[in-house]
Amino acid sequence: MLMDKTYQIIWADDEIDSLLDKTSKELFSKQHIDVIKCNNAAMLEEKLKNVSHRIDAVIVDASFTARDFTPSDERDVSGLRRSMRIREKYDYLPFYLYTQRVNLSDLMDEDELAYFKYNNAIFFKSNGPRPLLERIKNDVDKINSVEFQIDNQYKKELNYFLVFDKQCKAKSYNLIRELLIQSREGSLTNTESYFNRFRTEILDNMNAVSAQFGIVPENLSLNNFSRFLCSKANGYNLNEEVLPKALHMLMQYVVEMVQDGSHKGPNLQYGVHQFVSERSDTLIIRSLLFAITELVSWFISYIEKNTDKQQNMSNWQKQDEGIIEKDEKGYCHIGKDYSVLLKNMDLVGKKVKITNFIPNTSSATKKYYPLFVREEDFQVID
């Protein structure tokens, strides 16, 4: 049988002993609320520093002292002022004002009461403690909820997804928030289904928005989009890098894993979908969740600073067909006219014999560069 949840609060009031009479204590007990009593603000600060268990909320009076232990003058608000300074150190705790005084403006400036007014956290003793206690319980339950914690911890990041969705009419915010909550709860299931959603809701739309702003050429495949951002796209030269180098591997990881994980079958490069499904694995999706969050955070910041389409397009130039840089394996991509290597070697227009080559079998690119040739396999014919 589950035990009822207990709420731990600190209550600072110079008349706390009379307020917590037998009737009030019975009410607090029924509401499962434990109270730590304080007579002044100095005691409140001491309790907050030294109490060993969790504190959920703080109640303060309007008229009480900062240090005295005896009931104070009803116009003394030094305790409340000190409490507000203390609250700044404990901004994760909700504070509530519980007072007999209906008109507080004759004692304090409006800005001094702003916290309580903004949070609708002023309660009057004439109404009894029940409304205040119900409010505290509701607020504490909300603060301790996973949804509240995620919305606050990732407020900036989630806002990037809201902006992203406005750009492309997507639903990435709901997807990312849902996954963050489930990840925190430990309730992630059927994670293989998220690969396709990552691709369609986020990566494809990132590609489309980039093209819309002229950051990348139109109609790039997702793989070529990734290569372009990482300054590795065949057929294009970039004046300045778009994606910071620190994110290159992250972008390549996300695209390759999402592309692979979006499909089933025996001939996939990594078999991510099958692996995740068979093992009920959640760690890969979590890694992609945070990697994508990093990429979208960068992306929104970038497009906000680079809105001029023509200027963005001037950052890249399409190479002539067949003019492809030497790849990481040392092969030059040779097209029907010439290659960058031949041009750099001042061999354009001269007779060149290729002594060895590998044919390009890719249907998508072989019309542009049908041969892969190493530099040492060129011979100039006089």
Residue-wise pLDDT tens digits, 245-271: 999 999 999 999 999 999 887 778 899
**pLDDT attached to residue 174:** 94
- Whether 322 shows a pLDDT value over 50: the answer reads no
**pLDDT attached to residue 367:** 67
Q: Which residues pair with 57 in a beta bridge?
A: 9
| 87 and 200 inside one domain | no
| 155 and 133 inside one domain | no
Which residue, 140, 74, 295, 142, is CA-closest to 205?
295
| 139 and 61 inside one domain | yes
List the CATH number of the domain containing 81: 3.40.50.2300
**pLDDT attached to residue 228:** 93
Average pLDDT, the chain: 86
Residue with the two structure tokens 């996954």: 179
pLDDT > 90 in the chain, percent: 56
Q: What span, in angstroms and rounded, lies between the C-alpha atoms of 13 and 61?
A: 5
244 pLDDT band, cuts 50/70/90, is very high
CB 343 within 8 A of CB 378: no
Higher pLDDT, 170 or 182: 182
| 181 and 267 inside one domain | yes
Nearest-10 Cα torsion for 325, 328, 329, 330 = 40
71 pLDDT band, cuts 50/70/90, is low
Query: Which 3-state string (H, E, C) describes 210-264?
Result: HHHCCCCCCCCCHHHHHHHHCCCCCCEEECCCCCCHHHHHHHHHHHHHHHHHCCC
Q: Is residue 362 part of a domain?
A: yes
- Whether 323 shows a pLDDT value over 60: the answer reads no
pTM for the predicted model, two decimal places: 0.66
Listed residues 144, 175, 194: the one ending a domain: 144
Residue-wise pLDDT tens digits, 175-224: 999 999 999 999 999 999 999 999 999 999 999 999 999 999 999 999 99
Average pLDDT over residues 112-119: 89
321 pLDDT band, cuts 50/70/90, is very low
Neighbouring C-beta atoms of residue 230, cutoff 10 Å: 20
| DSSP state for residue 354 in the 8-state scheme | E
| 72 and 176 inside one domain | no
**pLDDT attached to residue 110:** 79
| 173 and 290 inside one domain | yes
- Whether 11 shows a pLDDT value over 60: the answer reads yes
Residue with the two structure tokens 């409010």: 135
| 190 and 281 inside one domain | yes
Q: Is residue 93 part of a domain?
A: yes
Q: Is residue 303 part of a domain?
A: yes
Q: What span, in angstroms and rounded, lies between the C-alpha atoms of 324 and 50?
A: 68
Domain that holds residue 347: 323-381
Higher pLDDT, 69 or 111: 111
Q: Is residue 1 part of a domain?
A: no
| 132 and 188 inside one domain | no
Q: Is residue 2 part of a domain?
A: no
| 194 and 54 inside one domain | no
Listed residues 271, 287, 318: the one ending a domain: 318
Q: What span, in angstroms and rounded, lies between the C-alpha atoms of 55 and 305?
A: 44
| 337 and 281 inside one domain | no
Listed residues 300, 318, 336: the one ending a domain: 318
Split into its structural domains, the chain has a count of 3
The two three-digit tokens of residue 68, written as one number:
């005295």
Neighbouring C-beta atoms of residue 300, cutoff 10 Å: 20
Nearest-10 Cα torsion for 286, 289, 291, 292 = 170
CB 83 within 8 A of CB 60: yes
| 139 and 233 inside one domain | no
- Whether 337 shows a pLDDT value over 70: the answer reads no
374 pLDDT band, cuts 50/70/90, is confident
**pLDDT attached to residue 382:** 60
Q: Is residue 259 part of a domain?
A: yes
Q: What span, in angstroms and rounded, lies between the C-alpha atoms of 86 and 92?
A: 12
373 pLDDT band, cuts 50/70/90, is confident
Q: Is residue 137 part of a domain?
A: yes
Average pLDDT over residues 335-345: 57
| 308 and 170 inside one domain | yes
